[in-house]
Structure 1
Amino acid sequence: MAVLLVEAGTPLSDTPDDPPRLLGPAQIRTLAAEIGVRPTKTLGQNFVHDGNTVRRIVAESGVGPDDVVLEVGPGLGSLTLALLGAAGRVIAVEIDPVLAARLPATVEEFAPLQAPRFEVVTADALSVVRSDLPAAPTALVANLPYNVAVPVLLHLLAEIPTIATALVMVQAEVADRLAAGPGGRVYGVPSVKARYFGTVRRAGSVGRNVFWPEPKVESGLVRIDRTTTHSADPSVRNEVFRVIDAAFAQRRKTLRSALAGWAGSPVEAERRLRAAGIDPGLRGERLDVDGFVRLAATAHS
C-alpha cells in the first residue's frame, strides 16, 4: 500500500482547517522527559514516534467524521493526534495517571481545533464498561499493550456492542494467531473467540524502529469487522467460550476426549458432538467458530 511520509510536526492532511500536527522522535522524548515518564514493560509501553505509521493505522481503520473512536493506551498521544484528524470524536482510555493527566494539554498544543472532540478516561481497559465512557464508541483503534492485548480486545468487543470495527496493533505473533483460520498451526483460542464477534484479517506489519523504546518483537495490524451472526447474549457467548477453552486446553486430544470435562463424560461429549454434526475424532484446531457455536447449543438439548 502506498503511504505518504509525514515529517514530525507537519499537518496530517492538506485541508485548510489547521489539522493536527503529529509527534516525531524529538517531541516524544521531550514530552516523556517533561513528565518524568520512563516506559515500563509492566504496562507494555512502547511509544510510536513515526507519523507515517500512525497515519497508516488511521487509514486502515477507515474511521471518519461520523465515528466515535475508542483508543486504548494512548501514551503520549501519537496515534491520538492522527485519529483526531479523521474521526468525529476520540475517547482515550489510559491506565497511567501521569500520561492521562498530560494528554489533554498535548492535544491542545498539537490539535487546538480538534481538542473539544477529545476526552481521556483514566482506567484499566480490562475493567471498562460502556457506562464508564462519555459516549458510545463506534470503532476501536489502538496500539494495545502487548502483555494484555488479547484480553483487552475481547473484553471491549464483549462489553461495548456499539463497536462496529476494530483496528489494533499487537505483537506480530499475536496478530498471526488472531487472523489464523482453522487447520493452521497457530489457530487457537484467540482465533476462534475473535471470530465470534466478526470477520478477522491481518492488515499489515509494523517494524520495530517506529517505537521508543524499540521493542524486541515485530508488530502487526489486525482488523475486525463486527457481524451479527452470533448471539450477543453474554450467557450464550460465555458457554461458547467455555467450549473453546476446553477444546484447546489439550490440543493434541480429539474433541471427544478434550470435551469430556465440559460435557461430563466422554460418552456425553460424543453425543453432543454428533448432535452438532461434528466428527468426535477431530481436534479443536479443525473446527471453525460456527462449529463451536453449534456445539455449545447442545449443552441445553
Structure 2
Amino acid sequence: MKLSNISVIKDLLGRHGFTFSKALGQNFLINPTVCPRMAEEGGAAPGVGVIEIGAGIGVLTAELAQRAEKVLCIEIDSRLLPILDETLGEYNNIKIINEDVLKVDLPALIAQEFPGMEVVVCANLPYYITSPILMDLLEQRLPIRSITVMVQKEAAQRICAPLGSREVGAVTVAVRYFSEPKVLFQVSRGSFLPAPDVDSTVIRLDVHQEPPVSVPDETLFFQVVRGAFSQRRKTVSNSLSSALSLPKAAVNQILEAAGVPLTARPEQLSMEEFAALSTAVGNWKKAANRE
C-alpha cells in the first residue's frame, strides 16, 4: 500500500471513517522521501530497537520496521489502531501500544521489549507538545542512544542553536545538558496532509553518557536556567532577581562569585557559566540559611 499517495490515504481514512484531530496536531506525511531518510539517519538498523511516538497511519513505522530489529510504537489515538492493523499487517516486528507517552513507564517498557538491544527514538512529534516530550525523554535518562524527531522549523532552530547565539532559550541549554543536538534536514509544509502553516525540520539529539558540566544540584541548575530566560530582554541579574525572589544585591554577589558579568544577557552565557551560576546560588542560599 503506497502510504504517501494522497488518493490511497484518503481512501484508507474514508473507509475507516477517520477525521483529523486538531487537538492532537495530526498531519500525515505524503512526501515519500522523508521517512526513509528519517529511519536511516535515526539509526534504525539490525540489532537496534526503535521507539516511535505517534504512528499516524504507519508511514514512518513501516520504514523503521524494514531496517530495525523491533519497533515499539506508542500511539495515543485509538481510532488509528484498526488503520495500523491494515497498513502494517505484513510486519511481525512491530508492537503498538495505545498510550500517552507522557504517562507510560518507559524504563520498564525498554527493559521488557528491548533486552540486550541498543535503543533509539524516532518520531514525527505533534508540534504543540514537542518540548514536553523531548524533555521528558531526556530527563528520565533512558538507556537510549539518540532521539530523532521532526519538529517545527522555529523549534529546531531554538533547540539546536549554538550557545552564545541570539536564538538560544532555556530549552537550548536544557537539551545541550543531556545531548548533542544536530539539524539533519528540512521538510516543507507541502509534505503533509493536511498541510500545516509552518515548515518542519528533522533533528537528532545524540544523548550524552555524562553531562558536559558537573552541578551539585540539577533541580537548582534548571531553575536558574529557566529563571535567567524568564525575561529575555533583561540582563541575567534582573531576570534572576525576579524569578528566584532574591534581593538585587544578593544576585550581584552571586554573579560575581560565578564570574559572570553583571551586564550579561542569558543567551550570552556558556554551559560552564550556567553551572557556576547555579552553584553560586546554592552556596548563597546555604549561607543565608545559616545566618
Q: Does TM, scored on the shorter chain, surpass 0.5?
A: yes
Structure 1 unaligned segments of length 5 or more: list them: 1-7, 10-21
User: Deviation digits for residues 145-179 of structure 1, max 9, x if unmatched?
Assistant: 01111111111122252122111101111111111
In the TM superposition, 1:1-301 aligns within 5 A as 9=2, 23-108=4-89, 112=90, 115-131=91-107, 133=109, 134-135=112-113, 138-230=119-211, 236-260=217-241, 261-262=243-244, 264-301=246-283
3-state secondary structure, aligned to 1:293: helix
Sort the Cα spacing of 1:234 and 1:29 in 2 relative to 1 into closer, same or farther, 3 A: farther
CA distance in 2 between counterparts of 1:105 and 1:293 reads 51
> Does the CA-based 8 Å contact 1:104-1:119 persist in structure 2?
no
The worse-fitting range, judged by mean Cα deviation, of 224-233 and 164-173 is 224-233
Sort the Cα spacing of 1:46 and 1:272 in 2 relative to 1 into closer, same or farther, 3 A: same
Sort the Cα spacing of 1:234 and 1:296 in 2 relative to 1 into closer, same or farther, 3 A: closer
> Does the CA-based 8 Å contact 2:216-2:279 persist in structure 1?
no
3-state secondary structure, aligned to 1:26: helix
AA matched with 1:29: K
TM-score, length of structure 2 as denominator length: 0.86
User: Deviation digits for residues 1-33 of structure 1, max 9, x if unmatched?
Assistant: xxxxxxx74xxxxxxxxxxxx653333223222
TM-score, length of structure 1 as denominator length: 0.84
> Does the CA-based 8 Å contact 1:129-1:156 persist in structure 2?
no
Sort the Cα spacing of 1:202 and 1:233 in 2 relative to 1 into closer, same or farther, 3 A: same
Structure 1 residue 234: Cα displacement: 12
Structure 2 unaligned segments of length 5 or more: list them: 284-291
Residue identity over aligned pairs, in percent, reads 31
- 2:286 match: none
User: Deviation digits for residues 256-280 of structure 1, max 9, x if unmatched?
Assistant: 1211142622222222223222223
What's the Cα RMSD here? 2.4
CA distance in 2 between counterparts of 1:128 and 1:232 reads 30
AA matched with 1:84: A
Query: How many residue pairs were aligned?
Result: 277
CA distance in 1 between counterparts of 2:218 and 2:86 reads 41
Which stretches of structure 1, 4 residues or longer, exceed 6 Å deviation after superposition? 231-235
